[in-house]
């Protein structure tokens, strides 16, 4: 494995960010090339833990001659966001200087559909140069994994509908509990931008064998050695199944019996109707019925009319909930995959 360190210049004299890039060389030019990154939202660490365990496994495969495809791994994809703190609190999701979400507004390809903004361009914010560099690194890789997490959550993945059900092998290997399928990108999340790049480059627009996904490795605090190893092993099994690492004869994992795979238009994003202290009555992974109490928000403690009840708008599956227990009116409170579609949806990620 070879390691390079890219320098992303900051906007002011004396500031630069280091982007660590590991490259492993496969022995078979026809095997798929792979790109994996973690920590694009710099406050989401389960993917970093997974790569911590996956990188030595892949190095060993390379040393043993079992690595067929080549890989590019970026375990800290966002050194800019990693460095942002305000009064002791980490701010890893939005670029505070540029006022953008680190996983939205990725650069648009040029007319060839394949080349993106030159990451060396001087007259753009560092966040913009970082985004274009990440797209360059993922360029011409038919398998691209972007490792994220949610607030409190089961493990789930996003996938372009065009790559489903082929990508269910990833969900099975990861032991994921759900998948959200999207068909119209609009926010230029990394996954959308890569899929656009992939589609433009695919011969005859045939996307067989391709995979691009935002993997939500559970919740923000689900960072420990056991889960990191499990996720690393899951990704490794997936890479074996796709012919990136030589297979070992073990049977391919299958999807869980209770797996929930739905188009993203089935998402009910429940917003807090009032501010207050949250008491959840359900947790990620629960099945709920229409009208069931999901949470109460305490507005006026100790008074009989002091709480506001949040009820399930339809039957479905609780995917995620807020990590904080004090909430503002309008904040996302809980995310349910409804049994019925909710509304047409634009974009790969719902928020
Ligand atoms: Zn994220």
Examine the pLDDT at 112 and tell me if it is beyond 60: no
CA 40 to ligand 1 center in whole angstroms: 7
CA 76 to ligand 1 center in whole angstroms: 13
User: Rounded to 10 degrees, what is the CA torsion of 288, 293, 296, 302?
Assistant: -150
CA 45 to ligand 1 center in whole angstroms: 10
CA 271 to ligand 1 center in whole angstroms: 19
Residue 76 main-chain phi, psi, to 5 deg: -125, 85
Q: Report CA torsion sign: 120, 71, 160, 38.
A: negative
CA 28 to ligand 1 center in whole angstroms: 33
**Mean pLDDT value of segment 118-134:** 82
Distance CA 86, CA 84 (A): 7
CA 204 to ligand 1 center in whole angstroms: 32
Provide the percentage of residues in the chain whose pLDDT is more than 90: 86
**Mean pLDDT value of segment 323-327:** 97
At 120 the pLDDT is 62
CA 248 to ligand 1 center in whole angstroms: 33
At 170 the pLDDT is 98
Give residue 351's pLDDT band: very low, low, confident or very high (50, 70, 90).
low
At 292 the pLDDT is 98
Angle at 40 between CA 47 and CA 172, to 5 degrees: 40
pLDDT tens per residue, range 224-271: 999 999 999 999 999 999 999 999 999 999 999 999 999 999 999 999
Render the burial of 91-125: b for 16+ CB within 10 Å, e for the rest: ebbbbeebeebbbbbbbebeeeeeebbebeeeebb
CA 149 to ligand 1 center in whole angstroms: 5
CA 103 to ligand 1 center in whole angstroms: 7
Give SS3 for 200. Answer: helix
Q: Report CA torsion sign: 6, 193, 269, 320.
A: negative
CA 191 to ligand 1 center in whole angstroms: 11
Q: How far is CA 330 from CA 65, 142, 286, in A?
A: 54, 38, 23
């Amino acid at each position: 494995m070879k390691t390079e360190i890219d320098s992303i210049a900051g906007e002011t004299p004396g500031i630069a960010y280091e982007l660590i890039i590991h490259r492993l060389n496969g022995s078979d030019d026809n095997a798929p090339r792979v790109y994996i990154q973690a920590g694009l939202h710099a406050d989401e660490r389960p993917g970093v833990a997974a790569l911590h365990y996956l990188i030595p496994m892949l190095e060993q495969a390379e040393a043993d001659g079992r690595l067929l495809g080549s890989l590019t791994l970026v375990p800290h994809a966002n050194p800019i966001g990693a460095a942002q703190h305000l009064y002791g609190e980490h701010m890893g999701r939005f670029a505070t200087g540029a006022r953008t979400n680190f996983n939205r507004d990725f650069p648009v390809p040029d007319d060839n559909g394949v080349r993106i903004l030159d990451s060396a361009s001087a007259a753009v914010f560092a966040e913009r140069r970082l985004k274009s560099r990440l797209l360059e690194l993922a360029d011409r890789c038919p398998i691209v994994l972007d490792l994220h997490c949610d607030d409190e959550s089961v493990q789930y993945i996003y996938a372009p509908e065009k790559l489903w059900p082929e990508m269910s092998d990833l969900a099975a290997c990861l032991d994921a509990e759900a998948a959200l399928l999207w068909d119209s990108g609009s926010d230029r999340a990394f996954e959308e931008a890569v899929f656009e790049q992939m589609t433009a480059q695919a011969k005859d627009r045939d996307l067989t064998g391709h995979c691009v996904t935002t993997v939500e490795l559970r919740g923000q605090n689900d960072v420990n050695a056991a889960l990191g190893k499990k996720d690393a092993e899951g990704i490794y099994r997936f890479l074996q199944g796709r012919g990136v690492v030589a297979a070992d004869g073990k049977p391919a994992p299958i999807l869980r019996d209770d797996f929930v795979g739905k188009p993203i238009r089935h998402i009910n994003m429940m917003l807090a109707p009032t501010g207050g202290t949250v008491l959840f009555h359900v947790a990620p992974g629960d099945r709920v019925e229409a009208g069931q109490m999901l949470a109460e928000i305490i507005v006026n403690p100790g008074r009989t009319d002091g709480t506001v009840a949040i009820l399930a708008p339809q039957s479905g599956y609780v995917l995620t909930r807020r990590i904080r227990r004090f909430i503002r009116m309008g904040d996302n409170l809980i995310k349910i995959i409804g049994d019925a579609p909710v509304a047409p949806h634009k974009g790969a990620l719902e928020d």
